[in-house]
């Protein structure tokens, strides 16, 4: 029995705590292959401070340089007070954002951001310039290495240069596309601010209107509506795709997971348009195919988590107007006025709503039959092996007291009995569920949503996810496509991606859809086993373990034993998030990859085939 005494109680230094628990401060670490990887959060934390200076009226430019994995960010704000430079960089919960007079509507409120950058970097230089004087402090992993003061002729402001620690982030690389997307958002939300990045400039004159226009991949139904007020800005239009595409921001922070303001905006748009036309439209019909962006400014915003991707605040300021009422009142007045002044836009919106309503009613009978069929099938559903976190129908909808309802849940979509059997036996039954496909699903490209209810596989999958009406009641935070690493597996993956892109693009936009990465090879000797995800990793493993090794090529998930699978879907799980970028045109993507243009696809494949030998190994 392990003893538990006073000797087990420890107090960690601030930097040691950040380095041991980086997820609390920057989310996941990552290697730079995903835009929400930690190395980009480090950049964002520093830029947030610079943007806050601009928002307070100081400094119109921010220079960002990335070279050899080192990041340098220079703003021209007021500069950190010289006497407080070291503590502002290295003492947790210390900063100017606690002073409402110095930073009234800042995104960085916790006194943590710059300290996290400092602690997670192998080297970090913070230098402040104020009125001809400069104070600098250099750190390594949060430990002060050197500091000093000098006289200078530099303009006021702050310079932060840091190199993320490869001991934590591994062999990471910065993706320019992700950085540029971040900087574009900053420019849209801070009109007049110039962000210079490795020779490129990002500046916006029209705010969210520029964001919307640049994100449109085809002509909208009407010219975007642009509404601005005190502490609020909105841009919106409608397209022809399924779902809603709404970007939301708070104090310049891109809230990818939405929150209070997004819910209020969705309600406000539906309510205002229904009242304008004096028709009791279904809110889903009003918002179908909407493309929009909303930005608000809040005093002392409360975010859920240090990475600030979801707003939890209920009020504009402590003791002030509720965010819901603020947004609803603004949209009701401004959007209603706009529609009265632009009857052509109102007519276009009405036609779109009526078309959505017509389609929904046309399949309502099919929906009813599909619901009944799915309900009957679920009673004896061998396709879905659910997880304990969800309601147990046999216990009258009550959750077990032992289950934390806030835990993250995952649904693995697999092909065939062998693969689903391996995952089912090795999964965490509390949070991980498995849905087993029967063969290849139908190619849904070019079909209407009617197919979702007529096709048994799609209907049962939709029922398992609980997304028939909208995504508000989505049962799983992560939906993971887990198919074999062979031609058939890739085809099934493509068919599932087509299904989600065609009918539920918001699942992807909101970051719920993933691809499971499983090893292609197992290289082992009597002492060590290495799992390899590419031929290159396999070759390195063989070199490391020597020639007397056993090499196994996994062609199907069913070939991986449940004991091994626990390793791949547990703490060491590798997930690749499916993403939709601003330049991704869903109709064009689906037409090219899933349409009838076989010669074009063949030409694309042959011209992009990098290594025939590698492809033969993977076949």
- Classify domain 208-362 at the CATH topology level: Ribosomal Protein S5; domain 2 (3.30.230)
Question: Is residue 24 very low, low, confident or very high in pLDDT (cuts 50, 70, 90)?
Answer: confident
- Could you tell me whether strands 513-517 and 478-482 are parallel, antiparallel, or unpaired per DSSP bridges? parallel
Mean pLDDT of 519-523: 87
pLDDT tens track for 599-619 = 777 777 777 665 444 444 443
pLDDT of 170-214, one tens digit each?
889 999 989 998 999 899 999 999 999 998 999 999 999 999 998
Helix residue spans in 107-193 (DSSP H): 113-119, 166-169, 176-189
The per-residue pLDDT for 143 is: 93
pLDDT category of residue 14 using cuts at 50, 70 and 90: confident
* pLDDT tens for each residue of 237-294: 998 877 788 888 888 778 877 788 888 999 999 999 999 999 999 998 999 889 999 9
pLDDT mean across residues, the chain: 82
Place of tokens 């078309």: 355
Report the pLDDT value the prediction gives residue 198, as an integer from 0 to 100. Answer: 93
Mind listing the pLDDT tens digit for each residue in 406-438?
457 899 998 877 677 778 888 888 888 899 888
Flag the least confident range among 111-120, 306-315, 379-388, 504-513. Answer: 306-315
| pLDDT, position 278 | 94
- Selection from 91, 82, 86 nearest residue 129 by Cα: 82
Q: What sign does the dihedral 255-257-259-263 (CA atoms) show?
A: positive
The beta strands (E) that lie in 476-565 are given as 478-482, 513-517, 521-524, 529-532, 550-553
- Residue 142: band (very low, low, confident or very high) from pLDDT cuts 50, 70, 90: very high
CA distances from 236 to 280, 347, 349 (A): 21, 15, 11
Task: Pick the closest to residue 590 from 514, 496, 506 (CA basis).
Answer: 496
DSSP character for 259? B
Q: Strand 290-296 vs strand 245-250: parallel, antiparallel, or unpaired?
A: parallel
Q: Give the count of alpha carbons within 13 A of 379, CB side only.
A: 5
For residue 415, give the nearest of 461, 463, 462 by alpha carbon.
Answer: 461
Question: What are the beta bridge partners of residue 521?
Answer: 532, 553
- pLDDT higher at 3 or 267: 267
Alpha-carbon gap, residue 615 to 486, rounded angstroms: 10
Q: What is the pLDDT of residue 348?
A: 95
Do 16-202 and 208-362 have matching folds?
no
Q: Of the candidates 186, 163, 86, 148, which has an alpha carbon nearest to the alpha carbon of residue 117?
A: 163
pLDDT in tens, 62-108: 999 999 899 999 999 999 999 889 998 988 765 554 444 444 455 55
Q: Where are the alpha helices (DSSP H) in 504-579?
A: 505-509, 535-545, 562-568
Choice among 160-164, 395-399, 550-554 with the minimum mean pLDDT: 395-399
Identify the band that residue 535 occupies on the pLDDT scale cut at 50, 70 and 90: confident
Residue 18 CB burial class (10 angstroms; 0-12, 13-18, ≥19):
buried
Secondary structure of 307-345 as H, E, C letters: CCCCECCCECCCCCCEHHHHHHHHHHHHHHHHHHHCHHH
Per-residue pLDDT for 381 more than 80? no
| pLDDT at 618 (0 to 100) | 44
3-state secondary structure of 59: coil
Q: What is the dihedral of CA 465, 471, 475, 480, to 10 degrees?
A: 60
Residue 8, pLDDT > 70, answer no
φ/ψ (deg, to 5) at 17 = -65, -45
Which residues, 6+ apart, have CB-to-CB distance to 343 below 8 Å? Answer: none
Interval 353-366: pLDDT, tens = 999 888 888 776 66
Rounded Cα distance, 128 and 109, in Å: 20
Looking at residue 401, what is its pLDDT? 43
Q: Mean pLDDT throughout 508-535?
A: 86
Judge whether residue 379 has pLDDT over 60.
no
Q: How many other C-beta atoms can be found within 10 angstroms of the C-beta atom of residue 74?
A: 21
- Residue ranges per structural domain of the chain: 16-202, 208-362, 364-518+554-584, 587-619
pLDDT at 40: 92
Q: Provide the CATH number for the domain formed by 16-202 in this structure.
A: 3.30.565.10
Distance, CA of 488 to CA of 419 (rounded, Å): 13
Asked if residues 538 and 520 have their Cβ atoms less than 8 Å apart, the reply is yes
- pLDDT confidence bin for 452, thresholds 50/70/90: confident
Q: Report the CATH number of the 364-518+554-584 domain.
A: 3.40.50.670
Q: How high is the pLDDT of residue 513?
A: 92
Token pair belonging to 285 = 């019909």
Whether residue 468 contacts residue 462, with contact meaning beta carbons closer than 8 Å, is answered with yes
CB atoms within 10 A of CB 326: 22
Q: What is the pLDDT of residues 557-603, one digit of tens each?
A: 767 777 778 777 877 788 888 887 655 667 677 777 777 777 777 77
Closest residue by Cα to residue 481 from 426, 518, 527, 526: 518
């Amino acid at each position: 029995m392990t003893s538990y005494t006073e000797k087990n109680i420890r107090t960690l230094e601030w930097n040691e705590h950040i380095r041991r628990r980086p997820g609390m401060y920057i989310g996941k670490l990552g290697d730079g292959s995903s835009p929400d990887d930690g190395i980009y959060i480090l950049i964002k934390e520093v830029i947030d401070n610079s943007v806050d200076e601009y928002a307070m009226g100081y400094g119109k430019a921010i220079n960002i340089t990335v070279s050899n994995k080192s990041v340098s960010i220079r703003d021209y704000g007021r500069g950190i007070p010289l006497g407080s430079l070291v503590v502002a960089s290295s003492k947790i919960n210390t900063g100017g954002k606690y002073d409402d007079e110095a930073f009234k509507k800042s995104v960085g409120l916790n006194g943590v951001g710059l300290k996290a950058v400092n602690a997670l970097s192998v080297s970090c230089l913070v230098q402040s310039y104020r009125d001809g004087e400069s104070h600098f402090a250099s750190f390594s992993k949060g430990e002060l290495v050197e500091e000093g003061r000098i006289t200078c002729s530099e303009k006021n402001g702050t310079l932060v240069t840091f190199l993320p620690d490869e001991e934590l982030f591994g062999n990471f690389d910065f993706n320019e596309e992700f950085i540029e997307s971040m900087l574009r958002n900053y420019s849209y939300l801070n009109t007049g601010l110039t962000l210079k990045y490795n020779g490129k400039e990002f500046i916006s004159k029209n705010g969210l209107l520029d964001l919307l226009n640049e994100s449109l991949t085809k002509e909208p139904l009407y010219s975007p509506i642009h509404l601005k007020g005190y502490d609020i800005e909105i841009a919106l239009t409608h397209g022809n795709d399924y779902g809603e595409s709404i970007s939301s921001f708070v104090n310049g922070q891109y809230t990818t997971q939405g929150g209070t303001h997004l819910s209020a905006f969705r309600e406000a748009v539906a309510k205002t348009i229904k009242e304008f036309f004096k028709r009791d439209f279904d809110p889903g019909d009003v918002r179908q195919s909407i493309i929009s962006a909303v930005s608000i400014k809040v005093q002392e915003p409360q975010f859920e988590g240090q990475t600030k991707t979801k707003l939890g605040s209920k009020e504009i300021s402590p003791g002030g107007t509720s965010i819901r009422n603020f947004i609803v009142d603004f949209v009701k007045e401004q959007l209603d006025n706009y529609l009265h002044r632009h009857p052509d836009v109102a007519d276009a919106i009405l036609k779109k709503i009526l078309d959505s309503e017509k389609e929904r009613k046309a399949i309502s009978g099919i929906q009813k039959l599909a619901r009944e069929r799915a309900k009957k099938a679920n009673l004896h559903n061998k396709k879905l092996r659910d997880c304990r976190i969800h309601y147990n129908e046999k216990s009258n909808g009550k959750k077990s007291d032992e289950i934390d309802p806030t835990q993250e849940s995952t649904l693995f979509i697999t092909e065939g009995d062998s693969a689903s059997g391996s995952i089912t036996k090795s999964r965490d039954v509390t949070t991980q569920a498995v849905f087993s496909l029967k063969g290849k699903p139908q190619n849904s490209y070019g079909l209407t949503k009617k197919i979702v209810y007529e096709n048994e596989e799609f209907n049962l999958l939709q029922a398992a996810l609980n997304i028939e009406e909208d995504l508000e009641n989505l049962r799983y935070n992560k939906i993971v496509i887990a198919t074999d690493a062979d031609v058939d597996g890739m085809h099934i993956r493509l068919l599932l991606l087509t299904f989600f892109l065609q009918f539920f693009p918001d699942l992807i936009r909101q970051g719920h859809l993933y691809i499971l990465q499983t090893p292609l090879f197992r290289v082992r000797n009597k002492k060590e086993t290495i799992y390899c995800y590419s031929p290159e990793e396999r070759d390195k493993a063989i070199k490391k373990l020597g020639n007397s090794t056993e090499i196994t090529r996994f062609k199907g998930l069913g070939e991986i034993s449940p004991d091994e699978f626990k390793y791949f879907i547990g703490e060491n799980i590798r997930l690749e998030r499916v993403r939709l970028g601003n330049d991704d045109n869903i109709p064009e993507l689906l037409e090219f990859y899933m349409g009838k243009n076989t010669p074009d696809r063949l030409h694309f494949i042959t011209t992009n085939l990098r290594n025939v030998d590698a492809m033969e190994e993977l076949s």
